[in-house]
Amino acid sequence: MAISVYFFKEHRDPMQNAKAMISKAEKNNKGTKQKASKHNSSENNKESLTTDTTQSTVETIDQLKETVHPWNEPSEPAYPNIQHPEAISIEVSIADQRVYIKEQDKTIYTMICSTGDSKAGTPTPTGEFVIEPERGDKFYWADDDDWAYNWVSFSGHGIYLFHSVLMWNEHEVEEKEAVRLGQEASHGCIRLPLPDSKWFYDNITTGTPVTIS
């Protein structure tokens, strides 16, 4: 089934440290590129710049892995056993970057997430929604050669989704996006760690209320 996906490539705190590290790395890379364009004109220097920039990005991702929640681990040690799906509701806090699974107003599980990037003009919509019938084990977005898994629609019948972090394929996570868990990153969808997205896909039923604020 074709779906419309409205996002771009995009619990372990402190997330502020992670954001600062991203910002610092971006500034360093930008400065390196500007200096290179002024003082280096040979192809060898360009190749050296590319290598240095790539290495810096890899180092930054490795550092961020220590400060953000692992994308391949559940947000909490044990998932709840849902006996009464009709009593379940979902609350998403944009401020907290968390998805709260509730049973009769009691939080039974909390997931770290990444909502839409409001600074880029692509926020996650707020308000009252329900889990819609549209869902699937994976989808491919050709514009940026991205995959996401375990998608569940909550608005627009396939437009706004809960889904996994972005991936290059079934086995390779797009790490520079995955390390943004816990901060705004998507084009409106709600990204989850891989195990959380699978549990959500398997256990959250159509018609479940969703509140996003």
Q: Which sequence positions are flagged as catalytic? A: 163, 189
Decide: 161 and 5 in contact? Cβ < 8 Å: yes
User: 68 is written with which tokens?
Assistant: 């953000």
Residue bearing tokens 């692509």: 122
| C-alpha to C-alpha distance for 127 and 209, rounded to whole angstroms | 11
Report d(CA 134, CA 185) in Å as an integer. Answer: 23
Structure tokens at 14: 């402190």
Q: Which two tokens stand for residue 133?
A: 């019938």
Contact of 114 with 93, CB cutoff 8 Å: no
At position 1, the amino acid (one-letter code) is M
How many Å apart are CA 119 and CA 115, to the nearest integer?
12
